[in-house]
Structure 1
């Protein structure tokens, strides 16, 4: 168990180091990608919901 925690901390440390070096550009990309994915999901949910309502009207 202790071994896993140490490995996790080392891994996180490496990730943090990477983020410190490439933080600004990487952060921006991640934020934009996150926002884009959210918008796509919202559109898909809306379309599925709308299609479902239309299907119910036909019956």
Structure 2
């Protein structure tokens, strides 16, 4: 049995992908630390007219 790294379901070894979520058995991509939260705050400030939006 192979455990899916995405959803955790146990699958038979004959499949190359998960029978539940349909993803391959490669490990999920490592997420890089992003500035998403900072970007959201910046857009919110821009929407309120407090500052210009930067790229």
Do Structure 1 and Structure 2 share a fold, with TM-score over 0.5? no
Greater length-normalized contact order (CA 8 Å, ≥ 6 residues apart): 2
Name the structure with the higher strand share: 2
Instruction: Please tell me whether Structure 1 or Structure 2 has the larger radius of gyration of its CA atoms.
Output: 1
Which TM-score applies when normalising by structure 1? 0.34
Q: Normalized against structure 2, the TM-score is what?
A: 0.36
